[in-house]
Structure 1
Amino acid sequence: MAFDRLTWIGFMVVAFGWALLLSGAPTLQIFAAAIGHKMPFDMPVIAQATILSGFGLAILGALQTGFSALKNFFDTVLERTSRPGEAVSKKPVTKVVERGRLKDRPYILFGDGSIEVETLLGQRRFASFKDAREFIG
């Protein structure tokens, strides 16, 4: 699985938070006790907040990647369905041979053998009756 930059940054922040929690916080507490001062901040809480923030960034990056892939998919589907018949034939269709219904969907059969059927995605043209039947199910 490919991660984008934001996801990797989130993972690095998580790793830094864990390093801070496991080594940095105890070291600072020992150092503060040795010099006789109290730490002005709670280092374990900061480390935990860093870990959670890193996970938040990683999740945000993964969602951004996933939704952009989903958007590209739907854009491609809409683009393909908005140009019916382009993949079938570049020849002009001159004659309607037959009109009827295929599994309760209206269709038009043309003289070149292609068929235009009303689908859930809109009007689609297929190269043959067999292709239309396979698409509809």
Structure 2
Amino acid sequence: MTRMTPFSSPLLLGFDAMEKTLERLAKSGDGYPPYNIERLRGPDGSTEKLRITLAVAGFAECDLDVTTEESQLVVRGRQSDDTEREFLHRGIAARQFQRCFVLADGMRVIGADLKNGLLSIDLDRPEAERQVRKINISVKD
């Protein structure tokens, strides 16, 4: 029995990678760390940027890794367990995480800042020029 997916339509050509990405995102149900996504307008009001802010309290810069892999922004955090300290109660766990964000075509990461336990990642999308291309039809009789 074949599996029917939203991308099975014969009108949607070449969307296989997007379907796999959506499946991968649906499986990642962990909500840690919490994050915000906000739209930032430039001084002229037309340029638009996005900022992703993740709450990463307790993580140092060396514990965090921000990369782009294919069309995804991947943020990883790994804290090392401090063996020199003796805890009577441990409510704040040294926890690992990986958070993925799918980037649209043309999105690029400008930079990342860590301040007061918040990791801010700025993105922008340069205006793409609209392309219209005429396809010549060859006649074979």
TM-score using structure 2 length: 0.20
- Which structure has greater strand proportion? 2
Of structures 1 and 2, the larger Rg is shown by 1
